[in-house]
Amino acid sequence: MDMAVISGDGVFSHTMLGAKDLDASVKFYDAALAPLGVTNLGPFGDNWMLYGKDKPAFLVVRPGNGEAPSSNGVTIGFAAVTPADVDAFHAAGLAAGGTDEGAPGPRSHLPGAYAAYLRDPGGNKICAYAFTE
């Protein structure tokens, strides 16, 4: 693979979540992130799957210590361009084995926010936000 394993954006070098079942998580993230323009960039070794727009920034991995992943209290938020993208993210994630953690709709805690929340097959919480104002 010629691309960098992580891309960085000036704040984070990358974001990584553990997977109980990497195949199930890959199916979920392929579907849920596609409406946001984030694609599967392929594996890195046997235990990591890389996602990004033009270079890797989000990684889904089998935990290196062999234990079950734990992300209680963690939420990864993905940027969406429009509320329709948020709706598509939520629908695709549900169809690919995710569970609802907050239906698409306006969020009163942030002006102009429209968001949806999901749990991936491993129990990790993710969301997508678009801002309409």
pLDDT at 10: 65
Beta bridge partners of 106: 114
Residues 40-99 have pLDDT tens digits of 999 999 999 999 998 899 999 998 888 888 887 889 999 999 999 999 999 999 999 999
pLDDT at 4: 55
Q: Rounded distance, CA 120 to CA 94, Å?
A: 9
User: How is 113-125 classified by DSSP, letter by letter?
Assistant: EEEEEEE-TTS-E
